[in-house]
Amino acid sequence: MTDERSSEHASVLSVDARHVWHPYTQHHTWPPPLDAVRTEGAYIHTRDGRRIFDGISSWWVTLHGHGQPEIAHAIAEQARTMEQVIFTTFTHEPAALLARDLCAVLPSGLFRIFFSDDGSTAVEAGIKMAMQYHANRGTPRTQIVAIDHAYHGDTFGAMSVSARSVFTNPFASHLFHTHHLPSPHEGDTVSALTTLLDTTAHDIAAIIVEPLVMGSGGMIVYDESILRAIRDLSRARGVLLIADEVLTGFGRTGPLFACERAGISPDILCMSKGITGGFLPMGATAATDEIFDAFLSDDRRRTLFHGHSYTANPIACAAARASLALLNETSATRRATIEATHRTQLARLASHPLVRTPRVLGTIAAFDLANGNDYLNPIGRQLADFALAHDILLRPLGSVVYILPPYCSTADELQTVYSVIEQFLATQ
């Protein structure tokens, strides 16, 4: 590193250390962050000249690859025309066309899009829609059903329908009551839901699920038949189904949405993360016309009183439309290559005595380390540090290791990731 670059690097880290509070970071014990200066394709470039492979799509948001030119161009063009406008008195072309484009590819029956800021806010909107839908129809229902090990976000409603864990425990007394079903990998989710609905269906507004992959709870993959059974039970009892596709949406499990893979359509579907290709924050909640119609009234009290200052930001909408257009046959081929590479490489790792429950769904690969399933298990941090020393970004969920790369990643790049993991396992 040159003296000038070294000075700039030191300055950035000094300012960061004095003023910045990073998410999910124990500042007392963790080393200083890396100083990123540029991203391109599947790589993050640092000020000191390193080129780091982004094995987790920068928290699952970078869909096609960093710096995708089509999205960058769409953002620049929109910024020159209209950067922001209030989305109550006004509408605008980027939002209207994005809503149309989303409805064209979403599971059937979802024709209304409510825009927000991120995954948590998309879930918050979905929960409020579900509860108020029943209230507006004169049949109030206030209970929500969720699944053990679920994670739906960090705002209070989203935490309430998430698992009680290290994420939520400090706030437990302020979270609303939620019925929790056993996770598919630990119990009979469907039987538990059947029993619950037999006694309390009249009080339950909705069940919220992460379809097919439960992300932060440990990349738990479950069978499509379970999701179909949940859909059938909820429909039969007049309970709304909320699908949290914040992680799984936009091709992560193969098809554009995990619900599509299972052949079901929810009543409400929450989106974020990859919606803009990783360029800008945005959330969206899709709903059926039946739900939307329950809010139409001469009585203003039946309005959905929910919104965000940057709802349907035109620049974010333009980015999302450009990203959606890139989910074409070429993208599908790349996703299939990633899945095939995952399966081949995981099969090699599976014989290691520490590797348990290897699993692949679309572009998501994961396995457990035998040291125990605990988010605070230090082995995850040890692997992350080892990988980073080899210029690969991984961020295990405790003892759960996952690889979730941008769609531009090649088989050779993924083989390198697995090789580094194999080297780490050899040290244990």
Which of these is catalytic: 3, 24, 298, 412?
Answer: 24
Catalytic (active site) residue 273? yes
Alpha carbon distance 109, 269 (integer Å): 11
Nearest to 405 by CA among 34, 40, 59: 59
* Cα end-to-end span (Å), the chain: 33
Nearest to 328 by CA among 62, 3, 64, 99: 64
Structure tokens at 128: 């409020």
Catalytic (active site) residue 418? no
Catalytic (active site) residue 151? yes
Which of these is catalytic: 118, 244, 267, 368?
Answer: 244
Burial 407-416 (b: 16+ CB within 10 A, else e): bbbeeebbeb
Catalytic (active site) residue 244? yes
Which of these is catalytic: 43, 118, 133, 273?
Answer: 273
Which of these is catalytic: 43, 54, 148, 151?
Answer: 151
Nearest to 163 by CA among 91, 220, 86: 220
Catalytic residues: 24, 151, 244, 273
